[in-house]
Amino acid sequence: MKNGFSVFCVVLAALGLSWMGLVLGPVLQLGHESLTTVLNSTDPYPIQPAGAATLGLQVYKANGCAACHTEQVQQDGVVCNVVLSSPGLHPDEVSNLLSQIDLNGLTDQEASIAAAKIAAVGGKTEIRVASTGGDMSRGWGLRRSVSADYLYDQPVQLGSVRIGPDLADIGTRQTDANAILAHLYEPQSCTAGSLMPSFKFLFVTRKVQGSPSPDALALPQAFAPPDGFEIVPTQDAKNLVAYLMNLHVNVPLYEAPFTPSVAANK
């Protein structure tokens, strides 16, 4: 290549190709993604978050929570587990059979064969689909995250390093707002030896005037403010907690199926 024009053409071709592939392609495919429905139901998914949760995402973004936390559940695969729902008329034969065959961690086909065997001796079974992977065994989610999970996020905070735990399903794991607030105020009060920085600047310590505020944090004795003072969260802290409590990866979707437990269905 002896002149600038040929260099220009090479660069144009190379970058143009990559741009069409990794920018235009995803924008066309994902940029206009619309609502989907929960698997085997007509409930729309995802549900638009409430105002406080939307504002909370801005607090999450401003303080760079994504520097240590991801919001993406990973999954290795799916397995089928055969669950006995009723032993039928010959419980002895069924229990005899159950001790002989594997019921967990099966493929689709193996599961139907096992179910057929149990059915042959009169037992009734249910085949349950479950996701597998490190994140599932850590209890960080019931399925992998998919693109539909982020439809209402602006900006999307996937994160890339897990210095702390994944937060995509934190709203399912932690349903106590005060616990999250206490964790933000002083992480050591919830997890001894935690490396999370404390976010005291999202709280106000003030003198109790009249009766204590209903918002005041309930902290363990070692971290509680002096008598006559209380710690109340600012609006930012409340919004952030609303956002975190709204993070769920707990409904099955077409592209990431699993069989929900009965409790999760309700």
Please list every residue from 195 through 214 that binds another protein, using CB under 8 A: 195-201
Query: At its nearest, how many Å lie between another protein and the CB of residue 258?
Result: 16
Distance CA 57, CA 83 (A): 40
Number of residues that bind another protein (CB under 8 A): 72
Q: Does 190 help bind another protein (rule: CB under 8 A)? A: no
Distance CA 127, CA 37 (A): 22
Residue from 78, 83, 119, 146 touching another protein (CB under 8 A): that is 146
Question: Strands, E, within the chain: which ranges?
Answer: 36-37, 44-45, 77-86, 124-132, 203-207, 229-233
Alpha helices in 126-225 (DSSP H): 134-137, 170-173, 177-185
Query: At its nearest, how many Å lie between another protein and the CB of residue 235?
Result: 14
Query: At its nearest, how many Å lie between another protein and the CB of residue 237?
Result: 12
Residue from 55, 125, 141, 149 touching another protein (CB under 8 A): that is 149
Query: At its nearest, how many Å lie between another protein and the CB of residue 27?
Result: 5
**Which lies closer to another protein via its Cβ, residue 77 or residue 105?**
77
Footprint of another protein on residues 155-174 (CB under 8 A)?
A: 155-166
Binding track, positions 53-72, relative to another protein; x by CB under 8 A: --------xxxxxxxx-x-x
Compute how many other C-beta atoms are within 10 angstroms of the C-beta atom of residue 147: 13
Distance CA 257, CA 38 (A): 10
Stretch that binds another protein, among 96-104, 144-152, 170-178, 238-246 (CB under 8 A): 144-152
Q: Does 9 help bind another protein (rule: CB under 8 A)? A: no
Q: Does 246 help bind another protein (rule: CB under 8 A)? A: no
Are 180 and 245 in contact, with CB atoms under 8 Å apart?
yes
Distance CA 117, CA 94 (A): 9
Non-local CB neighbours of 98 within 8 Å, separated by 6+ positions: 84, 118
Footprint of another protein on residues 82-141 (CB under 8 A)?
A: 134, 138
Distance CA 203, CA 198 (A): 11
Query: At its nearest, how many Å lie between another protein and the CB of residue 128?
Result: 23
